[in-house]
Chains A and B, each alone.
Chain A
Amino acid sequence: MSKKLIVNRRSVLKYGGAASVALATPYFFTRGALAQSNDYRNAPTGDTVTFGFNVPQTGAYADEGADELRAYELAVEHINAGGGGMLDTFSSKALTGGVNGKKVAFVTGDTQTKSDAARASAKRMIENDGAVVITGGSSSGVAIAVQGLCQEAGVIFMAGLTHSNDTTGKDKRANGFRHFFNTEMSGAALAPILEKNYGRDRKVYHLTADYTWGWSQEGSMQKYTEPFGWETVAAVRTPVGAGDFSQYITPILNSGADTLVLNHYGKDMVNSLTQAVQFGLRDKQVNGKDFVIVVPLYSRLMVQGAGDAAKGIFGSTNWHWSLQDDASKAFVKSFGEKYGFPPSQAAHTCYCQAILYADACQRAETFRPSAVGAALEGFEFDGLGNGPVLYRAEDHQCFKDVLVVKGKENPSSPFDLLEVVEVTPRAQVEYPVDLLGGELGPYNDGAA
């Protein structure tokens, strides 16, 4: 290294640094000053208000994330227009074009389905882009991580697809709200159907994804099926993303079990279900009964990946596009006309969350998290495709009907993969607040 180079670099640094300081100082201080003059985080000042959509754009759930984003764009369109889609069937009529007199703009982020990346992109939207709400996501780990962040930062978090009990149980936060259902409700809705179709007294083998959601799902299934004599032979934990599950499937053949419950989601579910069916489990007779497989949480996008293997297999889902109520039909119509295919359950829950948030802001006449939260707490509504729904005040969880579905035997189109077996009424899946523990704590408005 010669001396001249260093001198050069130094002068570049010096002048460059000085110039940028001179240029940027005003912005920097104005922004700090603005943030202090408002008494809640990211209070919108112009004629727009910014929503932050935090969805997986890369990784295993990228397609689900893309569908969520489509739903959000549609929701923003409808909110700004004051009508269209499910906004027309929604029981609250507060929204009449924009929210609190402002047009909705949005920014997007990539969660990568990793807690760190999701928090980083949420922080970017809060700190840099001025988002008043973060919403979206496709896994419980991410939802809980981002919910914690939003609590600290002082913005509202409207969870996307997250099914673990913990999101509104052990890890609930005042600033977080969930529309999607959870493993507790899945178990409660699924168990009676399983009893009716497969009878009492079965020997059950659980294959469970080895992380919190998997355990939670396994526990709920055991809790609701054991009372009518479904006895757990073994509950085997499988590593997430194992790819080939054959070494976990072979022991089932000799275990004496006649029922297999796959507590897997996403790619794990696609692979384990495909492989279990390949092993001829469904052609077997054990204990004088046909061997059956159950997948407690279904997603149509993932069933697509499992192909024929999913036919006739029971599971539960939050919503399905083939529902025939007016709201669902209106949503499918507006979504289908814009994008050319029906929405997934992830798209539905995200659309609802966006509408519900905007509506609560309008009713509260502010974007202040504590006021918006109060407007959502105990809110009863209808016309969003799930029948009458309650946003329970004590744990910020929506209570609504749960769909029990089955892989369709003769699909008429690539989207027609699930058929709704039963709509389990809300009363049957409700549970007491203290069942899942946790504490909401106080709201955080993010006042500096």
Chain B
Amino acid sequence: MDAIFLQILNGLDKGGAYALIALGLTLVFGTLGVVNFAHGALFMMGSFCAVTLNRIFNISFERVSETEVDFLGNPLKEKIPYLQQWFGADVSNFLLEWSVPMSILLAIVVMGIVGVIMERGLIKHFYKRPHADQILVTFGLAIILQELVRHYFGANPIPQSAPDAFAGAANVGAWIGLGDNVIYPWWRLIYFVFSALVIFGVFAFLQFTTFGMVVRAGMQDRETVGLLGINIQRRFTIVFGLAAAVAGVAGAMYTPVLPPDYHMGMDFLVLSFVVVVVGGMGSLSGAVLAGFLLGILQSFASMNEVKSILPGIDQIIIYLVAVIILLTLPRGLMGRKGVMED
């Protein structure tokens, strides 16, 4: 019982993360009709926003220590953050500790701008081009982005810690009357709530605002909306910026779970495509549904009891589900006819 409950919880947690990562991708598919292979790179850049903020808080000057020596035996050059110098150690440590949640703001701004620049400078010219061209050009961009990150941050993962208040695990079992063995990390619970909030936010934005209405109309029939005298192009730019910002915050918040490295975008790329396609191209609710479905199935497939019957099932479950769903439901769970089928 405990074990099953834990796997469900784990599946929801994973599902939330998958849905959040895939959300921007399917948004861009649905509205702009663009296959964005750089989406994983945007996710990766978001997580490096968290690293950057941490580095900014850590900008230091050097002071030659009188007592300590470095590994070569020379006097140690102590690094003292300016923040510590100006505001004292308490403020400095507090900022460093909370740098990951604070980096959400940075990620929204930076990634929103990156998204808008990308759309204006590159994607705009590819609306009418074949998907293969879109794939190649965004893939090239993804390589460039990740190589630049590697140049400045190295190839090794860079650990980012959650604030101390959320560092340990929550005794979920005690809340609902299960045993002590049902514990779950605070930060993952927070990430789950966070992803739910972001997903609902994006939904509400598209569903209940005039802007969202126009964008949805543009998804259905771009030409008519244009004939009505609405500048749909500008709105699409904003949608792309939004997608990039969502990928960015998803990445920034994920850093305590997975220490970021320059290659994590590529690692998530295939997964996010599978989620989007299983959900149905361009369908937001489909992506969310597929995210949770794949998350929970993957979690259960990894249980020892399941693995002992079907060895290796945990390694292929995602792809297996994708195959089965695509063969039974031609356009994924909630895909519309005619999207991306040419």
Q: How far is the CB of A241 from chain B (nearest CB, A)?
A: 7
Q: How far is the CB of B11 from chain A (nearest CB, A)?
A: 8
Q: Which 6 A-B pairs have CB atoms at the shortest separation, nearest pair first?
A: A307-B159, A280-B169, A62-B155, A305-B157, A247-B302, A250-B6
Q: Chain A residues with Cβ under 8 A from B184's Cβ?
A: 279
Q: Which of B155, B181, B187, B304 contacts A236 (CB 8 A)?
A: B304
11 CB contacts below 8 A, A to B, read: A237-B307, A239-B315, A250-B299, A251-B302, A274-B258, A280-B169, A301-B156, A305-B159, A306-B159, A333-B72, A336-B72
Q: How far is the CB of A332 from chain B (nearest CB, A)?
A: 6
Q: Chain A residues with Cβ under 8 A from B258's Cβ?
A: 243-244, 271, 274
Contact B3 A412 (CB under 8 A): no
Q: List the interface of chain A (C-beta within 8 A of B).
A: 58-63, 66, 210, 234, 236-237, 239, 241, 243-244, 246-248, 250-251, 253-254, 267, 270-271, 274-275, 278-280, 283-284, 301-302, 304-309, 321-322, 332-333, 336-337, 342, 412-413, 415-416
Q: How far is the CB of B220 from chain A (nearest CB, A)?
A: 36
B116 touches A (CB below 8 Å): no
Give the distance in Å from the alpha carbon of A59 to the alpha carbon of B147 in the complex: 10
Give the distance in Å from the alpha carbon of A251 to the alpha carbon of B314 in the complex: 14
Q: Assuming the A-B contacts A244-B257, A308-B161, are A254 and B2 also in contact, with contact meaning beta carbons closer than 8 angstroms in the complex?
A: yes
Interface code B1-23, partner A: CB below 8 Å = 1, 0 otherwise?
A: 01100110111011001000000
Interface code B281-321, partner A: CB below 8 Å = 1, 0 otherwise?
A: 00000000000000000110011100100000011000000
B2 to chain A: closest residue by CB? A254
Interface centre among B14, B167, B183 (most CB of A within 10 A): B183
Contact B2 A60 (CB under 8 A): no
Give the distance in Å from the alpha carbon of A336 to the alpha carbon of B71 in the complex: 8
Q: Chain A residues with Cβ under 8 A from B259's Cβ?
A: 270-271, 274, 305-307
B256 touches A (CB below 8 Å): yes
Give the distance in Å from the alpha carbon of A63 to the alpha carbon of B154 in the complex: 7
Contact B159 A251 (CB under 8 A): no
Q: Chain B residues with Cβ under 8 A from A279's Cβ?
A: 169, 183-185
Contact A234 B7 (CB under 8 A): no
Q: Which of B155-188 contact A (CB under 8 A)?
A: 155-159, 161-162, 167-169, 181-185, 187-188
Give the distance in Å from the alpha carbon of A254 to the alpha carbon of B182 in the complex: 8
Interface code B181-213, partner A: CB below 8 Å = 1, 0 otherwise?
A: 111110110000000000000000000000000
Give the distance in Å from the alpha carbon of A234 to the alpha carbon of B305 in the complex: 11
Give the distance in Å from the alpha carbon of A239 to the alpha carbon of B314 in the complex: 8
Q: Assuming the A-B contacts A239-B315, A254-B181, A305-B156, are A342 and B71 also in contact, with contact meaning beta carbons closer than 8 angstroms in the complex?
A: yes
Q: Which of B3, B167, B263, B303 contacts A60 (CB 8 A)?
A: B263
Interface centre among B150, B155, B185, B256 (most CB of A within 10 A): B155
Q: How far is the CB of B120 from chain A (nearest CB, A)?
A: 31
Q: Which of A59, A66, A250 contacts B263 (CB 8 A)?
A: A59
Q: Assuming the A-B contacts A246-B13, A308-B159, A308-B161, are A413 and B6 also in contact, with contact meaning beta carbons closer than 8 angstroms in the complex?
A: no
B68 touches A (CB below 8 Å): yes
Q: How far is the CB of A97 from chain B (nearest CB, A)?
A: 26
Q: Chain B residues with Cβ under 8 A from A62's Cβ?
A: 150, 154-155
Q: Chain B residues with Cβ under 8 A from A342's Cβ?
A: 71
Contact A246 B157 (CB under 8 A): no
B267 touches A (CB below 8 Å): yes
B90 touches A (CB below 8 Å): no
Contact B182 A253 (CB under 8 A): yes
Query: Across the A-B interface, how many residue pairs have beta carbons closer than 8 Å?
Result: 132
Contact A250 B10 (CB under 8 A): yes
Q: How far is the CB of A405 from chain B (nearest CB, A)?
A: 16
A283 to chain B: closest residue by CB? B168
Give the distance in Å from the alpha carbon of A62 to the alpha carbon of B168 in the complex: 32
B315 to chain A: closest residue by CB? A239
Q: Chain B residues with Cβ under 8 A from A321's Cβ?
A: 71
Q: Which of B264-284 contact A (CB under 8 A)?
A: 264, 267-268
Q: Assuming the A-B contacts A246-B188, A270-B259, are A60 and B155 also in contact, with contact meaning beta carbons closer than 8 angstroms in the complex?
A: yes
Give the distance in Å from the alpha carbon of A241 to the alpha carbon of B267 in the complex: 8
Contact A251 B72 (CB under 8 A): no
Contact B7 A247 (CB under 8 A): yes
Contact B256 A278 (CB under 8 A): yes
Q: Assuming the A-B contacts A278-B185, A278-B187, A280-B168, are A61 and B304 also in contact, with contact meaning beta carbons closer than 8 angstroms in the complex?
A: no
Give the distance in Å from the alpha carbon of A243 to the alpha carbon of B17 in the complex: 12
Interface code B64-104, partner A: CB below 8 Å = 1, 0 otherwise?
A: 00001011100010000000000000000000000000000
Give the distance in Å from the alpha carbon of A105 to the alpha carbon of B325 in the complex: 57
Q: How far is the CB of B101 from chain A (nearest CB, A)?
A: 16
Give the distance in Å from the alpha carbon of A253 to the alpha carbon of B1 in the complex: 12
Give the distance in Å from the alpha carbon of A10 to the alpha carbon of B183 in the complex: 73
Contact B10 A247 (CB under 8 A): yes
> A247-B299, A250-B3, A284-B183 known; 4 other A-B pairs, CB under 8 Å?
A58-B155, A243-B264, A270-B159, A305-B156
Q: Chain B residues with Cβ under 8 A from A278's Cβ?
A: 162, 167-169, 185, 187-188, 256-257
Contact A332 B188 (CB under 8 A): no
Q: Chain B residues with Cβ under 8 A from A307's Cβ?
A: 159, 161, 259
B159 to chain A: closest residue by CB? A307
Contact B159 A274 (CB under 8 A): yes
Q: Chain B residues with Cβ under 8 A from A237's Cβ?
A: 307
Q: Chain B residues with Cβ under 8 A from A309's Cβ?
A: 159
Q: How far is the CB of A224 from chain B (nearest CB, A)?
A: 24
Interface centre among A60, A236, A251, A301 (most CB of B within 10 A): A251
Q: How far is the CB of A255 from chain B (nearest CB, A)?
A: 8
Q: Chain B residues with Cβ under 8 A from A416's Cβ?
A: 71
Give the distance in Å from the alpha carbon of A275 to the alpha carbon of B184 in the complex: 11
Contact B304 A234 (CB under 8 A): yes
Give the distance in Å from the alpha carbon of A38 to the alpha carbon of B155 in the complex: 42
Q: How far is the CB of A313 from chain B (nearest CB, A)?
A: 14
Q: Chain A residues with Cβ under 8 A from B303's Cβ?
A: 251
Contact A61 B155 (CB under 8 A): yes
Q: Chain A residues with Cβ under 8 A from B11's Cβ?
A: 247
Q: Chain B residues with Cβ under 8 A from A301's Cβ?
A: 156
Interface centre among B11, B184, B302 (most CB of A within 10 A): B302
Give the distance in Å from the alpha carbon of A278 to the alpha carbon of B187 in the complex: 8
Contact B257 A275 (CB under 8 A): yes
B261 to chain A: closest residue by CB? A267
Give the distance in Å from the alpha carbon of A237 to the alpha carbon of B307 in the complex: 9
A280 to chain B: closest residue by CB? B169
Q: Chain B residues with Cβ under 8 A from A66's Cβ?
A: 155
Contact A243 B181 (CB under 8 A): no
Q: Chain B residues with Cβ under 8 A from A336's Cβ?
A: 71-72
Q: Which of A275, A302, A332 contacts B71 (CB 8 A)?
A: A332
Give the distance in Å from the alpha carbon of A246 to the alpha carbon of B268 in the complex: 16
Q: How far is the CB of A110 from chain B (nearest CB, A)?
A: 12
Give the distance in Å from the alpha carbon of A61 to the alpha carbon of B262 in the complex: 12
Contact B71 A210 (CB under 8 A): no
Q: Assuming the A-B contacts A60-B155, A275-B257, are A280 and B267 also in contact, with contact meaning beta carbons closer than 8 angstroms in the complex?
A: no
Give the distance in Å from the alpha carbon of A305 to the alpha carbon of B161 in the complex: 11
Contact B181 A253 (CB under 8 A): yes
B184 to chain A: closest residue by CB? A279
Interface centre among A241, A336, A415, A416 (most CB of B within 10 A): A336
Contact A253 B183 (CB under 8 A): yes
